[in-house]
């Protein structure tokens, strides 16, 4: 990478740069705020570089176009927000069953229902826990900056190819609209069509991809194979950022836009002599359980902060092996906590009301 490759980008636009640098061949999507800039940039840049951009007639159509392109051996991406992601769930289940690589970007907005356009994290269960029918999982990456919107989109394609599975880039309305300096990574080498694909030539005619297994034993074997793959992902792909945790007494756990606010709060607490730390999950599946288990041996408590009703809280509980206190604070509806909110919650955990 060179400093010459540094440009100002909105988080949503950075997704498209990351996809193109990763060798993505196709974008299929349908408009929805606050993810629209992803499609806007895709419409401008994909055709310019000889790639395919198509605005589908619906979210259902878009995810099934991704399925078809991936089955043909092409790198494909789609992007939406909570409502559109809900509509894509059946197709995502098919993609997982067929073991096809694909990248899905979710720019979370307020919910449930039609909700609003504010930042929220209420899509966690839908995305991290599978969302659609059946016993499947998706890898989920959680950026907290335009830089990571680019770099983690590139990583999403790498993981999707390595494990032949759908991968989410899960962000929020504020990160998607944020404009910051982004250092563009070097592009990856163009990859050949994989040998398992259905590419429409005699060479690939022997291949067969399906999501229908009418024999009970066949379907069970597929499910067991998928669970083995997910366990391999759990062991090998946990990713997180630890900040000032070496001597911390309480570690704050949060992701996305909340982690940026919490990092500032940790700095302010440290200035006043409080030993706060921060753990930021960068993969939500696989969840960074190993780091949580390492930290809980040396701290007094965790504090989980979310823009949801405690959906990530359950994964923290499942990761913990001890009975140290796990505290919780959240905002919803598009509201964000500020630094002082987080400081006040930290102090209340320690039985204090001021710094």
How many other CB atoms sit within 10 Å of the CB of residue 46?
21
For 234-244, write each residue's pLDDT tens digit: 999 999 999 99
User: Is residue 355, in this structure, part of any structural domain at all?
Assistant: no
| Same-domain pairing of 35 and 86 | yes
Query: What is the C-alpha separation between 81 and 108, in angstroms, rounded?
Result: 5
| Same-domain pairing of 105 and 217 | yes
| Same-domain pairing of 246 and 199 | no
| Same-domain pairing of 23 and 55 | yes
Query: Which of the four pLDDT bands, split at 50, 70 and 90, describes residue 132?
Result: very high
User: Is residue 193, in this structure, part of any structural domain at all?
Assistant: yes
User: Is residue 332, in this structure, part of any structural domain at all?
Assistant: yes
User: Is residue 102, in this structure, part of any structural domain at all?
Assistant: yes
- pLDDT at position 1: 52
| Same-domain pairing of 70 and 114 | yes
CATH number at residue 322: 3.40.50.920
Show which of 236, 266, 289 is a domain's final residue.
Answer: 236
| Same-domain pairing of 165 and 96 | yes
CATH number at residue 87: 3.40.50.970
| Same-domain pairing of 215 and 310 | no
How many other CB atoms sit within 10 Å of the CB of residue 241?
16
For 192-209, write each residue's pLDDT tens digit: 999 999 998 999 999 999
User: Is residue 210, in this structure, part of any structural domain at all?
Assistant: yes
User: Is residue 44, in this structure, part of any structural domain at all?
Assistant: yes
| Same-domain pairing of 268 and 197 | no
User: Is residue 354, in this structure, part of any structural domain at all?
Assistant: no
For 250-298, write each residue's pLDDT tens digit: 999 999 999 999 999 999 999 999 999 999 999 999 999 999 999 999 9
Show which of 175, 202, 236 is a domain's final residue.
Answer: 236
- pLDDT at position 2: 59
Tally of domains in the chain = 2
- pLDDT at position 4: 73
List, in order, residues 6 or more apart from 136 with CB less than 8 Å away.
93, 96, 97, 130, 226
| Same-domain pairing of 10 and 153 | yes
Rounded average pLDDT over 47-51: 97
| Same-domain pairing of 184 and 295 | no
The share of the chain scoring above pLDDT 70, in percent, equals 98
- pLDDT at position 51: 97
Q: Is 54 exposed, middle or buried (0-12, 13-18, 19+ CB in 10 A)?
A: middle
Containing structural domain, residue 88: 3-236
pLDDT averaged over every residue in the chain: 96
User: Is residue 196, in this structure, part of any structural domain at all?
Assistant: yes
Query: Which of the four pLDDT bands, split at 50, 70 and 90, describes residue 351?
Result: confident
Quick check: 354 pLDDT over 80? no
| Same-domain pairing of 255 and 164 | no
Quick check: 172 pLDDT over 70? yes
| Same-domain pairing of 222 and 283 | no
Q: Is the peptide bond before 160 cis (omega within 30 degrees of 0)?
A: no
Query: What is the C-alpha separation between 151 and 258, in angstroms, rounded?
Result: 19
Query: Which of the four pLDDT bands, split at 50, 70 and 90, describes residue 29?
Result: very high
* Positive/negative CA dihedral, 289, 295, 297, 300: negative
Show which of 205, 236, 267 is a domain's final residue.
Answer: 236
């Amino acid at each position: 990478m060179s400093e010459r490759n540094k440009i100002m980008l909105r988080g949503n636009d950075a997704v498209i740069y990351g996809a193109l640098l990763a060798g993505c061949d196709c974008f299929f999507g349908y408009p929805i705020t606050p993810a629209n800039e992803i499609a806007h940039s895709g419409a401008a840049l994909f055709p310019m570089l000889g790639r395919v951009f198509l605005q589908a007639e619906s979210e259902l159509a878009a995810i099934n176009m991704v399925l078809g392109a991936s089955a043909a051996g092409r790198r494909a991406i789609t992007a939406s927000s909570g409502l559109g992601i809900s509509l894509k769930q059946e197709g995502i289940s098919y993609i997982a069953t067929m073991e096809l690589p694909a990248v899905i970007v979710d720019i979370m907005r307020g919910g449930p229902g039609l909700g609003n356009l504010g930042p929220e994290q209420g899509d966690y269960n839908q995305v991290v826990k599978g969302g659609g029918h059946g016993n499947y999982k998706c890898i989920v990456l959680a950026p907290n900056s335009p830089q990571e919107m680019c770099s983690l989109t590139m990583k999403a394609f790498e993981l999707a190819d390595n494990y032949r599975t759908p991968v989410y880039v899960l962000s929020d309305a504020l990160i998607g609209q944020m404009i910051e300096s982004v250092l563009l990574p070097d592009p990856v080498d163009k990859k050949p069509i994989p040998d398992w694909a259905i590419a429409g030539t005699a060479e690939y005619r022997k291949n067969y991809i399906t999501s229908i297994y009418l024999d009970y034993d066949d379907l069970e074997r597929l499910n067991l194979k998928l669970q083995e793959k997910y366990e391999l992902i759990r062991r090998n792909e946990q990713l997180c950022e630890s900040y000032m945790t070496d001597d911390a007494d309480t570690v704050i756990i949060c992701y996305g836009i909340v982690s940026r606010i919490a990092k500032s709060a940790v700095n302010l607490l440290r200035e006043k002599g409080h030993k706060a730390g921060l753990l930021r999950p960068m993969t939500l599946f696989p969840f960074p359980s190993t780091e949580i288990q390492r930290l809980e041996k040396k701290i007094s408590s965790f504090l989980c902060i979310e823009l949801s009703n405690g959906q990530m809280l359950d994964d923290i509980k499942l990761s913990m092996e001890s009975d140290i206190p796990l505290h919780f604070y959240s905002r919803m509806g598009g509201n964000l906590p500020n630094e002082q909110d987080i400081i006040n919650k930290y102090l209340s955990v320690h039985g204090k009301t001021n710094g």
